[in-house]
Amino acid sequence: MQIIKKLTHIFQYLQSLNQLRNPLKQNIGDQPWVLWFRDLPEHPSICRGSIPSLSVLDTDDSFPDSNEENDYFILKVRRPELKTCPPPPPEVAPWLADGWDKIDGTVQVKPPKNETAENGEVKTIAIDSDPVLFKAYEQWLAQREHWVKTESPAHLAMEIFLRLYRLYSFMEREAERVELILGDGLLSLPHTDGANIYHPLLLQRLQLHFDASVPEFTLEETEHQPELYTPLFRSIPEVTGHAINKIQDLFDTGSYHPLEEDETSHFFQQLIALLSPHGQYTGSNLVRGEKNVLRLGRQPVVFVRQRTLGFNIAIESILENLPQRQDIPPFLANIVGIQPASTNRDSDKEGIPAGNNANGEDENVFLCKEANAEQLQIAQRLEKYGAVLVQGPPGTGKTHTIANLLGHLLAQGKNVLVTSHTSKALRVLKDKVVEPLQPLCVSVLSDDNRKELERSVDAISEKLASVNADLLENEAARLTSERGELLLKLWDTRTRLQLARQDEYRPVVIQGQEYDPAKAARLVVKEAALSSWIPGPVELGSPMPVSTGELVELYQTNEALTPADEED
């Protein structure tokens, strides 16, 4: 089909553009931040966790406040308590150069110095010229060496803590652009042309928490399932698409995790065999071997990556699905210039809403927030064409419009998926949604999406516990009818108001003579004393509504009734 061919060209272009803007990371060293598990020191302040599926937990009881509820984590790093270097004896300190108190510093003795005695004799004095002084120096040096040996793991742990502290600040600023990943299954392929592959294949998204009261960092999994870094396979020329599909099928039928031992190791052995007939699985002893020899080993690592992989995977899925599609959404057809037969543009009238809809009211469009004619027009176009493009600079109401459309689409019984390049935009949109609908908004990309889903289910359950479906249906019908009546009254009032405003400019006709409104107003003011007693409109030539006697009696009441009586 022509439309399939055109759409394929468009998505191939988007795929190439994305690859140019976000080139595939083949080397773990090219990622913004990397922490190897093998570099973690053995210290009580660093505790490696495990996953629930492991039969043996590699946990540490160094943290006395740990319990069963928070034992499930990937890594915990508490700020270690550092001990300072033991000070040298006072008589030794003047002989030491700066840097002796640093854990990575060296002890350097100052060179010998000359001193002149009282008899004028010049003597050369060194630290080893005085046996007592030199013995004190050697004793202190042994103490310092013991301090270096025992405190080095603590200082290495402090470096890890500081790295996580800087990472935490970075993630707070760039959380919409980057994400934290746990990886294993390190694929190594040194190329003769220098284009090396050295990157983990099995990935799990993480979240970083900081408890300032301890202080302590905790790395935990998100709700996302582990994923396979399949784009890396496509950078290996000898790997076929059939092999990639078999690997993906094998991954989908199993349950693998970067920290799991037996099943994941078995999966890696099968994976490397599918990738290359000469592929080697090395377990935890991965070393870079010969050129153009594919190797796979176990080396857990935590790293930061850009949030761009999902876009490329989505395009790949679309390109695979397009040739099999028989039904193409109308909005995609519009993109390539093919107008579906079901679309009727003749009745659009350029999308200009009726005059009574200037504030976005329409009997069939349920906008739950303040609206205007443009937002009503967007809802009507979306209903007719299936897609609408809204552009505008910040602050022009795009988010407000989306929040309005959510209410309209939910009222039609539809499910709504909102996508964005950043999670912050989704949080802002949720705040814009009317409060009764906010419990229905669940962010798939949020780190705590399970809690959001639980809150949503609780809110729905609480609502259903107080009313049943029939009551809700009756209430909806009543409110719809009431809304229709209010809209009719509103449109009628707005029409009469419009006519009243026009009366400010329409001539006033009296006995065939026209007066403009300003001249008529001046005439009324001028003759107020003469004509203001007239109780209401009087037609020319009509008889008086009361007799002369009744009129006299009426005026007599002005004296018969006191102002106090009139007030009562």
pLDDT tens digit string along 485-532?
A: 888 888 888 888 888 888 777 888 877 788 888 888 888 888 887 777
Alpha carbon dihedral 393, 397, 402, 406, in 10-degree steps, equals: 180
**57 band by pLDDT with thresholds 50, 70 and 90:** very low
State the DSSP string of 65-130.
T--GGG---SEEEEPPPPPPPPPPPTTTGGGBPTTTTSTT----BPPPEEEE-TTS-EEEE-GGGS
Position 167, amino acid: L
Higher pLDDT, 536 or 320: 320
124: pLDDT strictly greater than 50: yes
Answer for the pair 33, 171: CB distance below 8 angstroms, yes or no: no
Q: Which amino acid is at 324?
A: Q
- Angle in degrees, CA 339, 345, 346, rounded to 5: 135
CA distance 553 to 550: 5
Under 8 Å between Cβ of 289 and 295:
yes
Give the per-residue pLDDT at 76.
95
What's the average model confidence in pLDDT over 186-195? 75
What is the average pLDDT across 259-288?
87
Average pLDDT (223-235) is 86
User: Residue with structure tokens 């106090």?
Assistant: 564
**What is the pLDDT, as a whole number, of residue 145?**
94
pLDDT at position 181: 95
Of 204, 255, 263, 246, nearest in space to 229 by CA: 204
Distances (CA, A) of 269 to 58, 280, 281: 23, 8, 6
Identify the DSSP state of 323. Answer: G
- Other CB atoms within 10 A of residue 309 CB: 19
Q: How high is the pLDDT of residue 68?
A: 43
* Most confident segment among 294-303, 536-545, 554-563: 294-303
Nearest CA among 147, 145, 160 for reference residue 43: 160
φ/ψ of 51, rounded to 5, equals -105, 155
pLDDT grade for 1, boundaries at 50, 70 and 90: low
Per-residue confidence (pLDDT) for residue 265, from 0 to 100? 93
C-beta separation of 310 from 193 below 8 A: no
Tokens 């950043």: give the residue: 422
Q: Give the model confidence (pLDDT) of 11-48 as tens digits.
A: 888 888 887 777 888 999 999 999 999 999 999 999 98
Q: Is the pLDDT of residue 90 over 80?
A: yes
According to DSSP, residue 365 is labeled: B
**Nearest alpha carbon to residue 260 among 208, 185, 209, 206:** 185
Res 213: pLDDT: 93
- Contacts from 69-75 at CB under 8 Å and sequence distance 24+? 70/218, 72/220, 73/49, 73/218, 73/219, 73/220, 74/48, 74/49, 74/182, 74/206, 74/219, 74/220, 74/221, 74/259, 74/302, 75/40, 75/46, 75/47, 75/48, 75/49, 75/217, 75/218, 75/219, 75/302
For the chain, the first-to-last Cα distance in angstroms comes to 88
